[in-house]
Structure 1
Amino acid sequence: IAPWNYPLQLALSPMIGAIAAGNTVVLKPSEYTPAVSAVLSKLISSVFPSDYVTMAEGGPDISTALLQQPFDYIFFTGSVAVGKIVMEAAAKQLVPVTLELGGKSPCIVHKDADIQLAAKRIVFGKFTNAGQTCIAPDYLFVHEDIKTKLTEEMKRAISEFYGPQPEQNPQYGKIVSERHYQRLLSFLNDGVPLTGGQSDPDHHKIAPTILDQVKDDSPVMQEEIFGPILPLFTYSDIGEVIEKIQSRPKPLALYVFTTNPEIERAVLESLSFGGGCVNDTLMHVATPYLPFGGVGESGIGSYHGFDSFNTFTHKKSVVKQTNRFDFAFRYPSSKNGLRMIRKILK
């Protein structure tokens, strides 16, 4: 069951793993991207026989019907809320699942970071696809000593990437639907924009926005943002950052920018998260040599590369025994069986 935010890649990538492992596949694309689904359906039907790979287009009713079928495996990418529905349906038939979910992925910039490079890489990671990326930095912790310098560099990077009016740039992404657009607009009231905040209702676009003076209990901090809004918090001690992240559900991704090995080690060893980067964003998802997946509320299981093959296979353990000889001591009729077994175990 594929999502709408990367409707081609997130449909085909797990499908490739399933095919490589020798399975047949029923693929359910998102109803939010019907044009992509139509193209994908035409492509798949031209390549694969329908009893090998088939598409099931439609809305939630189709997903509900599919979840009632006795599949061998269910692979779902989407929100935490829908992931719980998928897992509940799968549990009724004891169907194993991989759940690629999301959550609020933190980004930390310590005072010793390469600020210019950090700014560019955070802007890239956050505002690619207008922030509609499951592993996008969801909120930012910056050391108080470098807040002004980092935000200035981020403003410069936004202008370099998307121009002075990003919401008017045809190559800057749209928000997928009116409902999501209105939800994101409401988040703009939860702080003070240091940059951005402009919107284009006709095209469902919101300019890349860095939001300052945000409270921990504000609506923008209660759910995954999944849009081009980045709440910013300052800190003086890395310990307080670690404690705040630990108080939240385990995120799908985490990013830390530092040149201090002790800070790096403290963050990576103290926090549980699906995957992430040191001094970068998003790039851990680009390598086929690392498994990709969440932990806790951010997901169950992983895939990519050979891990996709492992996800869609079952390791069948078989012993083929010899007939040339037989150990008599293994049987209960053996007089010295227990003594021999004790010797072997020693």
Structure 2
Amino acid sequence: MDNLNSSPSPVRWFMVLRRSKPVESPVRKFSTSSLCEEVLTKVRDAFSSGKTKPYSFRLLQLNAILQMLEEHEADFIEALNKDMHRPRFETVLSEMITVKNEAMYAINNLQKWMKPKTVQKSMISLLDNCFVQKEPVGVVLIVGGWTFPIEQSLIPMIGAVAAGNCVILKPSENSSQAANLLQILLPQYMDTSCYHIIRGEHRDVLTVLENKFDHVFYTGDRTIGKQVLQVAAKKLTPVSLVLGGKNPCYVDKLCDLRVAARRIAWARFINAGQNTLAPEYVLCHPDLKERLIHELRNCVREFYGHNPRESPDYGRMACTEQYQRVKDLLSTGQVAFGGETDDGDLYIAPTVLTDVQEPDAIMEHEILGPILPILTTQTLDEAIDFINKRDRPMTIYVYSGNQEVISQIMHRTSSGSFCSNDSMIQNLNTSLPCGGIGNSGIGIYRGKYSFNTFSHRRACVLRTTTAECVTHLRYPPYTEKTLQLIKWACTLSKKENSSWCCIL
């Protein structure tokens, strides 16, 4: 590829440093929609040239992402440690392995995904070639989240690249070191005429959307997500939203409470609780509450010691704004354990709350911090009713040794995903879709689902002119005889379960 290592256009808010090792550098951000429009024009020209469509080009770019992750893993670990005191173990597990697997999965399956899909034909179309062709939608805007900034930027980007699109990526400013690193590294590995990074605050995406994109993929909070949807609708731009929600976790009496506590505590307190798939609250029977709190306290001590602030394995909040927002939630209910904070260090201890009421702010908004409220319900039906009267969440968890309890919750509730007897493990499987439903998001992604999200499925029929003896039946003058023949040829047959369709 001739321009793989070519220098990018000198746009004010877009800067690239070509070094073997990235270093900290001043960041230039866009300030007006016109600047984004300038880059968008160049990217759209690149897409119009058709260079992103061939299998060889897509494969080259996917391998470039994989190579970047492998060669600069230590740099990503360091950046996320600076952003949120993230332990190396957590970054490797939750971001590096996950994104590498996503890229490798796309590389291994891309050729199969790109193949046209043949469809069943009717008697009238037996001589035709009928298939669905998957084509790139065009220029995609991806707005990454801040809780897992590498994963939430690159996983949707991998899907968009695999589908043959051009991409403008806007990583989150709440994880500024990670955003800086992506801004420096991506142009070193990927075609700079097709893939660009823009910088700015999350709210600035609304200004960027004054330009026309072919698809917008947004990860972030619900308030801005709704605004993104409204602004994109003015230009009829398709939108995918990953918004998070209040993920319930039901703990049944018939479960291994020790194992349940370990898995819940790990999922809630990894990355200092900054995770849209973490359990947001626990529902359990009143008789179980104190035992569960005891086990959770033991797990926190086992994981992080008696003072988590001194543990090398416990993170910090990503920015002052998020820290203060989560700290304010500690005034809700009663602290069962934890609750310590440090403004200077953006530290909030792993905390469990009790006596939380439904109208409390912590039950209305996604926590994204190391706080776990525990509420009680007398029966399984009461727990299901509690879940169902709230907005549908990103995921639902249930811990039980009773398969009937698991089945009841799975079939009587609705959520983006569901997992029994573990938490967040569904996110590690590249074959499973990820995404919310209702207020927790729109659309799905991961693996083939990402490829489909960023592809247009084009219905194609390749005919000849040799069947005019049949197709003439559709022409005037109309007669009852020709109508009956057409009905016979086109009507669905229940017995054969056929998909006859009229292609006259």
Q: Which residue of 2 aligns with 1:96?
A: 238
1:123 is aligned to 2:268: no
Among 463, 484, 489, the alignment partner of 1:339 is 484
1:147 is aligned to 2:250: no
Letter in 1 for 2:182: L
Separation (CA, whole Å) in 1 of partners of 2:331 and 2:402? 36
1:302 is aligned to 2:444: yes
TM-score using structure 2 length = 0.67
> How far off its partner does 1:144 sit?
2.4
Letter in 1 for 2:487: R
Separation (CA, whole Å) in 1 of partners of 2:329 and 2:146? 21
Separation (CA, whole Å) in 1 of partners of 2:203 and 2:245? 25
Letter in 2 for 1:54: H
1:325 is aligned to 2:467: yes
Q: Which residue of 2 aligns with 1:49?
A: 191
Separation (CA, whole Å) in 2 of partners of 1:167 and 1:270? 41
1:234 is aligned to 2:376: yes
Q: Which residue of 2 aligns with 1:187?
A: 329
* Residues paired across the two proteins, number: 346
Which structure 1 residue ranges, 4+ long, deviate > 6 Å from structure 2?
Answer: none
> How far off its partner does 1:64 sit?
2.7
Separation (CA, whole Å) in 1 of partners of 2:191 and 2:263? 43
Q: Which residue of 1 aligns with 2:365?
A: 223
Checking the alignment, whether the CA contact within 8 Å between 2:267 and 2:278 is kept in structure 1 is: yes
After superposition, the C-alpha distances for 1:143-193 in whole angstroms (9 at most, x for unaligned) are 223222222111111111111111232431111222222222221111111
1:249 is aligned to 2:410: no
Letter in 2 for 1:329: L
Map residues 26-65 of structure 1 onto 2, 5 A cutoff: 26-60=168-202, 62-65=204-207
TM-score using structure 1 length = 0.97
**Pair 229,179 (structure 1): closer, same or farther in 2 beyond 3 Å:** same
Structure 1 spans left out of the alignment, 5+ residues: none
Separation (CA, whole Å) in 2 of partners of 1:179 and 1:308? 31
After superposition, the C-alpha distances for 1:106-132 in whole angstroms (9 at most, x for unaligned) are 100000011111000000111111111
Checking the alignment, whether the CA contact within 8 Å between 1:167 and 1:199 is kept in structure 2 is: no
Separation (CA, whole Å) in 2 of partners of 1:126 and 1:244? 21
Separation (CA, whole Å) in 2 of partners of 1:197 and 1:60? 29
> How far off its partner does 1:334 sit?
5.2
> How far off its partner does 1:61 sit?
6.3
Separation (CA, whole Å) in 2 of partners of 1:11 and 1:84? 20
Structure 2 spans left out of the alignment, 5+ residues: 1-142, 494-504
* SS of 2:282 mapped into structure 1: strand
After superposition, the C-alpha distances for 1:201-238 in whole angstroms (9 at most, x for unaligned) are 22111111010111111121121111111110122201
* SS of 1:194 mapped into structure 2: strand
Checking the alignment, whether the CA contact within 8 Å between 1:56 and 1:62 is kept in structure 2 is: no
> How far off its partner does 1:331 sit?
1.6
Separation (CA, whole Å) in 1 of partners of 2:286 and 2:198? 51
* SS of 2:331 mapped into structure 1: helix
Map residues 155-174 of structure 1 onto 2, 5 A cutoff: 155-174=297-316
Separation (CA, whole Å) in 2 of partners of 1:334 and 1:222? 63
Checking the alignment, whether the CA contact within 8 Å between 2:289 and 2:374 is kept in structure 1 is: no
* SS of 1:317 mapped into structure 2: strand
**Pair 61,150 (structure 1): closer, same or farther in 2 beyond 3 Å:** closer
Q: Which residue of 2 aligns with 1:278?
A: 420
Checking the alignment, whether the CA contact within 8 Å between 1:119 and 1:153 is kept in structure 2 is: yes
> How far off its partner does 1:10 sit?
0.8
After superposition, the C-alpha distances for 1:67-115 in whole angstroms (9 at most, x for unaligned) are 1111110001111111101111110100001101111111000000111
Separation (CA, whole Å) in 1 of partners of 2:247 and 2:488? 54
Checking the alignment, whether the CA contact within 8 Å between 2:410 and 2:418 is kept in structure 1 is: no
> How far off its partner does 1:62 sit?
4.2
* SS of 2:336 mapped into structure 1: strand
Separation (CA, whole Å) in 1 of partners of 2:204 and 2:194? 19
Task: Please provide the CA RMSD for this pair.
Answer: 1.4
Q: Which residue of 1 aligns with 2:213?
A: 71
Letter in 2 for 1:273: S
> How far off its partner does 1:29 sit?
0.8
Separation (CA, whole Å) in 1 of partners of 2:398 and 2:447? 25
Checking the alignment, whether the CA contact within 8 Å between 1:167 and 1:200 is kept in structure 2 is: no
Letter in 2 for 1:79: D
- Identical aligned residues as a percent: 38
Separation (CA, whole Å) in 2 of partners of 1:251 and 1:61? 23
Separation (CA, whole Å) in 1 of partners of 2:204 and 2:168? 12
Checking the alignment, whether the CA contact within 8 Å between 1:126 and 1:228 is kept in structure 2 is: yes
> How far off its partner does 1:63 sit?
1.8
Checking the alignment, whether the CA contact within 8 Å between 1:138 and 1:231 is kept in structure 2 is: yes
Letter in 2 for 1:330: R
Separation (CA, whole Å) in 2 of partners of 1:341 and 1:13? 48
Separation (CA, whole Å) in 1 of partners of 2:145 and 2:478? 62
